[in-house]
Amino acid sequence: MFEFNDIFNERDARRAKGTLEKAREIASPAASLNATRAGLSPLIAEKHRRAISGIVTELSAALDRYEAAKNGDSAALLDQYRGDPGIALVVARIARGWSQAALAEKLSLREQQIQRYEAERYRTIGLANYRKIANLLGVELRASIKEAAAPNFAQVHYTPQADKKTISRIAEHARTNWWTDRDVSEDTIVEFTRASISKLGQPALLRTGMTPNNISQDFLLAAWRGRIIERAETATAQATPAFNILDISWIGDLTRLSASDDGPALAARLLGERGILFIYEPAIQGLRLDGAAMLVSGNPVVAMTLRHDRIDNFWFTLLHELAHIYLHFRMGLAIGFYDDLETVESDEIESEADEFASEALVPNMMWRTSAARIAKDPAPIEKFAAQLGIHPAIIFGRVRMERKNYSIFSDKVGAGRVRSQFVKEA
């Protein structure tokens, strides 16, 4: 996925300009109409258009900062990354008008070495070599010692505590689900989970979509997501297709896969072809979680627990997480969205993801006038599903949800027909 704010060389700038040109086309008012004509829901097309408008704004600003720095005015670019000493060297090179190759030549290094340094923001360089490059570029760093202040929990990593029973539960889950081919000790679980927390950020953000004031599940969530990151990094180490956030036209193809008995497995494969990694990882006992959307090494990931092994739940959760990827990438995808879809209270972002999922599966305009909405027997519902080209379990699930009556059509929602498609893979 393109990092919209990071433009530090001509290669980045060329890529950004190409993306910006395409994004402007999609963000135009006419784009929603064209997408609708191509078969995409007007509501989804408009939501995506507004999300892409954010890319246009961010890319334009990032290119302006880069061009200003090339012309000697590096203040805006430096301010964007205030306090990052590695970025200071990158910006100084740009402001001096030197290419990466030119800097490498002055340091008697290969250009690829400077490219690696800048790609990792000089985080692995030794102090002596950092000072050597800083002196050449005329970068002077100053330090100051401030008075001790109360910690800002929005900016520091918080380590949730767990009792021995919780740690033991995670260790047993890890053994049962083959997290490693070695025996898993409780000390190993604590070390693994706390290491993963360094990638998680502030716990309030971890619970996006979950009960906002309940931190009792944070340690379980940190362990589960640590496992997702581990599996995703292993998978993405191999060559994977590039994800294109500008193209949402394939969503209709995805939902139509639901008509097949092996639709969930086919959906996971289609996501992979679109550059989105799908991971099934069971929830740890006590963790109320249906699915998650996140970035791992810059690649979008949809992870699902399948705690409700039903066809209707699978498809709604999948589309809900895809909504986060396509609509909310600028609102926390790097940290992740973790969804308990049974949570009654929902914020604006979660409500939009629900609306996206519902519309993608069953367009509201068709639903309002459908006989399936008030049907008391299966026939009209199955007929409507056939008309839409989707699995009837999805419609039965919506009927149960809208009527708030989960005792009806319980034999029609595809119970027990999803998890088995992923157990061998997991």
DSSP string, 26-95: HHSHHHHHHHHHTT--HHHHHHHHHHHHHHHHHHHHHHHHHHHHHTT--HHHHHHTTT-HHHHHHHHHHH
In this predicted structure, the answer to whether residue 386 has a pLDDT above a threshold of 70 is yes
The least confident of 49-53, 197-201, 305-309 is 197-201
pLDDT band with cut points at 50, 70 and 90 for residue 6:
confident
The least confident of 10-19, 42-51, 238-247 is 238-247
Dihedral angle computed from the Cα positions of residues 193, 197, 202 and 208, in that order, rounded to the nearest 10 degrees:
-60
Report, as an integer, the average pLDDT of 385-411: 96
Report, as an integer, the average pLDDT of 276-284: 96
pTM of the predicted structure, to 2 decimals: 0.87
Identify which has the larger pLDDT, 253 or 297.
253
In this predicted structure, the answer to whether residue 305 has a pLDDT above a threshold of 90 is yes
Domain segments of the chain: what residues? 10-137, 203-421
Mean pLDDT of the chain: 87
In sequence order, the 6+-apart residues with CB closer than 8 A to the CB of 118 are 8, 9, 89, 90, 100
Residues present in the chain in total: 426
How many Å apart are CA 232 and CA 311, to the nearest integer? 24
